[in-house]
Structure 1
Amino acid sequence: MNRIKHADVEVGTQIPERTFPVRRLDLVRYAGASGDFNPIHWNERFAKSVGLPDVIAHGMFTMAEAGRVVTDWTGDPGSVVDYSVRFSAPVVVPDDDQGAEITVSGKVKAKNDDGTVTVLLTARSGGAKVLAKASAVVRLAP
């Protein structure tokens, strides 16, 4: 496994952008795995009745995809020391063959003396920023 080394990273280092497809089937699978069967994530009629434009992805699903960008970059799923986001807009998932997409990018904001770096993340879907104040502190290989 190729792990990113602390010595090889500088402030401003860009993390490669990734785009993740999100279909209704993905939401049903996530609901089964997480136990979150809230109908806003699978029932269009219900979602619209509570004021949403359509079915929306689970917030934790969106957060997980953004976190995946970091762990794939570091080469170690256990590298995340701290991770936080604010949800700023929903990921609307239409009932068609395309569904939606979540596009995530990142940039190293700080290189810390303890072998960690702080990464700022940007996640967008449907032209909207869906995560705000998204950041992860990750421990890199020495």
Structure 2
Amino acid sequence: MSPAVGDTIAPREFAVTRADLVRYAGASGDFNPIHWNERVATEVGLPGVIAHGMFTMATAIRVVTDWAGDPGAVVEYGVRFTRPVPVPDPGEATLTVAGEVRKVLDDGRVEVALTVTVDGDTVLTRARAVVRFPDAA
């Protein structure tokens, strides 16, 4: 695989449910009630229960790890959190993630920019991953 500038990673949708947030809270140890209690979330000015930022970030990188074929191929990853991801109950939020190769670096690594939205609103900006492929120099 030799990615080139302008190559795209097809958009992918991820359903996010309250059950996902509960599982993530257990795995991460982040039991902040804004991630599971509607009353607390709205009392602090949020639109409702919101997904953990790191859950959103981890979900978004899945398009890159699947594209690269190896989670270990991602050598750098960073985002800026710009908007919370409200998760209704009942129901789900739909996180839409797409990518584009922005640079091919001298050592064969590639920089991928991600677009991450919920209902057309950008929730992560400056989402960028650097990927090293096994056949890279």
Q: What residue in structure 2 maps to residue 101 of structure 1?
A: 94
Identity of aligned residues (%): 62
Which amino acid is 2:84 matched to?
P
Q: What residue in structure 1 maps to residue 84 of structure 2?
A: 90
| Aligned pairs, number | 135
Deviation string for 1:53-105 (max 9, x for gaps)? Answer: 10000000000011111000000010011100000101100111x31110000
Query: Which TM-score applies when normalising by structure 1?
Result: 0.93
* 2:11 is equivalent to residue 9 of structure 1: no
In the aligned structure 2, how far is the partner of 1:35 from the partner of 1:80? 25
Partner of 2:6: helix, strand, or coil? coil
Partner of 2:116: helix, strand, or coil? strand
Q: What residue in structure 2 maps to residue 139 of structure 1?
A: 132
Query: Which TM-score applies when normalising by structure 2?
Result: 0.96
Which amino acid is 1:81 matched to?
V
Q: What residue in structure 2 maps to residue 28 of structure 1?
A: 22
Greater Cα shift, 8-17 or 25-34: 8-17
Q: What residue in structure 2 maps to residue 72 of structure 1?
A: 66
Structure 1 residue runs of 4 or more that deviate by more than 3 Å after TM superposition: none
In the aligned structure 2, how far is the partner of 1:10 from the partner of 1:79? 17
